[in-house]
Amino acid sequence: MVVGEFTTDIDVLVIGAGPGGYVAAIRAAQLGRKVTIVDRAEVGGVCLNRGCIPSKALISAAHHLEAVQHGDTMGIKAEGVSVDFAKVQEWKGGIVKKLTGGVGGLLKGNKVEILSGEVLFMSPNEVRVVSGYDSARYRFVDCIIATGSRPIELKTFPFGDRILDSTGALSLGHVPESLIVIGGGYIGIELGQTFSKFGSKLTILEGSDAILPGFEKEFSSLVAKKLQKAGVVIETGAMAKSAQTSEKSVTVTYTVNGEERQATAEYVLVTVGRRPNTDELGLEIVDMKLTERGYIEVDEKGQTSVPHIYAIGDIVAGPALAHKASYEGKVAAEAIAGHPSVVDYKAMPAVVFSDPEIAGVGLSETEAKKEGYEVAIGKFPYAANGRALSLGSAEGFVKVVGDKKTGLVLGAQVVGPEASNLIAEIGLAIEMGATLEDIALTIHAHPTLAEMVMEAAEGALGQAIHQINK
């Protein structure tokens, strides 16, 4: 097709088919708009294809392996356990294929047109979509940009055969004999710990004074202890300086308190953050306002400085979370349809699928105090929960934060098995304006892990039953 031969008119254009874009497209279609979605790669974006879903599949497989290897405390002994990693990867790929196929079916079922290609803005109402040697122009009424993010590449650690980003690590055809992870945030910990469970000798280099710096130390320290118990070397206050790569290994030079050290491994995984994908869209052509770090400036509806263009997900301020992108996608679609929808992040959960898991929602104790609340704290340990003991998983605790004056639930943090699921109850409580008493009066099934949420709320009220009130 000759560029500029003709222009196709469309209603709503969604750029990016990840968890933000495809949700926005479906919601906009539900609200009566005719939607076209375009992505340069696969439907489902990084999350379904190269992030959230494949990583959780590997994490689950590693948990199964560990359970088989350490069942002797329950009187279960297994011999001859082995890992066929190619089969693990095949199983993981099957999950990805099923989910991405499902998303494609949902888009088609909602009559969303799907295009493949790179998008470049030509004017405030027109884009060019390039796919291979072909290109076409499209003129739109409204647009939602949801192009996501990519791993930050350090100049001294360029990605290649031995230095990997998260996508490269998830695609490995074998379990590395050894692995160095640069960056002890949630991606580095999740993937590093997974390969450690599969048998890799793991070293973690983290620049701050603790791994998982986004969480309070009383939570992250339990993950650190589990890692160290498994023989993982954790270097905090470590600044990676350079890499020397050979045919079969890579040596990292780093400093700790000014002292230079070295570590060698088969691979290095760099997980020091992600960069918004806003630099190749031609946004300067439409004079769109960006922050110094390349994020698109938006209002509470997701509206950019160009009124009929919206932006959501990793390309706007806030944590790079798939569920945040999906939520913002719904809001943007509803705003385009004329609904009075705005974002409210008060009950936005964050989860690390480490071992043990960590999850939080709302305000932490520290954050609540900074905001001037007189807090009521309830804390209940897994070790006092019958279900946790019967699962052989008694490490961790639930911590609920409430407003002492009104009883309103302000937030909660959980560290332990199924923290990712337990946190949902607190998110709902915050969203609906529930009190500590509301949770305490809610009958929870016994024996379940969810009882700990009720027990923590009771503790915050000074009504603890299964622990001594403080």
**CA nearest neighbour of 428 among 439, 443, 440, 414:** 439
Compute CA distances 21 → 46, 106, 175, 304, whole Å: 12, 13, 34, 16
287 is a domain residue: yes
Q: Domain boundary at 315, 345, 375, which?
A: 345
Q: Which residue has the tokens 């609920």?
A: 400
The answer to the question of residue 470 being in a domain is: no
Average per-residue pLDDT for the chain: 96
57: number of Cβ within 10 Å:
20
20 lies in the same domain as 117? yes
Give the CATH number, domain containing residue 374.
3.30.390.30
Catalytic residues: 446
Does this model's pTM top 0.75? My answer is: yes
Q: Which residue has the tokens 């704290």?
A: 377
pLDDT at position 21: 98
Same domain, 17 and 74: yes
Predicted confidence (pLDDT) per residue in 116-153, tens digit: 999 999 999 999 999 989 999 999 999 999 999 999 99
Indicate if 283 and 185 belong to the same structural domain. Answer: no
69 versus 192: which is more confidently predicted? 192
Cα–Cα dist 386/391, whole Å: 9
The pLDDT value recorded for residue 459 is: 97
What is residue 70's predicted lDDT score, i.e. its pLDDT? 85
- Could you report the per-residue pLDDT of 15-58, keeping only the tens digit for each? 999 999 999 999 999 999 999 999 999 999 999 999 999 999 99
386 lies in some domain: yes
**Which pLDDT score, from 0 to 100, does residue 5 have?**
59
Q: Are residues 115 and 47 in the same domain?
A: yes
- List phi, psi (to 5°) of 98: -65, -45
Q: What confidence tier does 196 reach under pLDDT thresholds 50, 70, 90?
A: very high
Residues 374 and 341 in one domain: no
Enclosing domain of residue 221: 163-272
230-268: per-residue pLDDT in tens?
999 999 999 999 999 999 999 999 999 999 999 999 999
Read off the amino acid at residue 31: L
Dihedral, CA of residue 362, residue 365, residue 370 and residue 374, to nearest 10: 100
pLDDT at 1 over 50: no
The closest alpha carbon to 428, from 335, 323, 347, belongs to 347
Mark whether 336 and 383 lie in a shared domain. Answer: no
In the numeric block, which tokens belong to residue 198? 């599969």
Residues 116, 24 share a domain: yes
Higher pLDDT, 470 or 269: 269
Residues of 365-400 as b/e, b for ≥16 C-beta within 10 angstroms? bebbeeeebebbebbbbbebbebbeeeebebbbbbb
Q: What is the distance between the alpha carbons of residues 385 and 448, in angstroms, rounded to a whole number? A: 8
Percent of the chain, pLDDT > 70?
99
Residue 253 lies in a domain: yes
Virtual CA dihedral for 54, 60, 62, 67, nearest 10 degrees?
-170
In a domain, 52, yes or no: yes
Task: Name the domain boundary from 245, 272, 299.
Answer: 272
The answer for residues whose C-beta is within 8 angstroms of residue 90's C-beta and 6 or more apart is none
Assign residue 43 the CATH number of its domain: 3.50.50.60
Task: Please say whether the beta carbons of 131 and 118 come within 8 A.
Answer: yes
Are residue 125 and residue 14 in the same domain, yes or no?
A: yes
Examine the fold and report which residue of 272, 287, 308 is the final residue of a domain before the chain moves on. 272
Do 317 and 197 have their domain in common? no
Residues 194 and 258 placed together within one structural domain of the fold: yes
Do both 39 and 141 map to the same domain? yes
Structural domain includes residue 156: no
* Phi, psi angles (nearest 5°) of residue 415: -130, 120
Q: How confident is the model at residue 350 (pLDDT cuts 50, 70, 90)?
A: very high
Q: Are residues 423 and 314 in the same domain?
A: no
Position 191 scores a pLDDT of: 98
Question: How many domains does the structure of the chain reveal?
Answer: 3
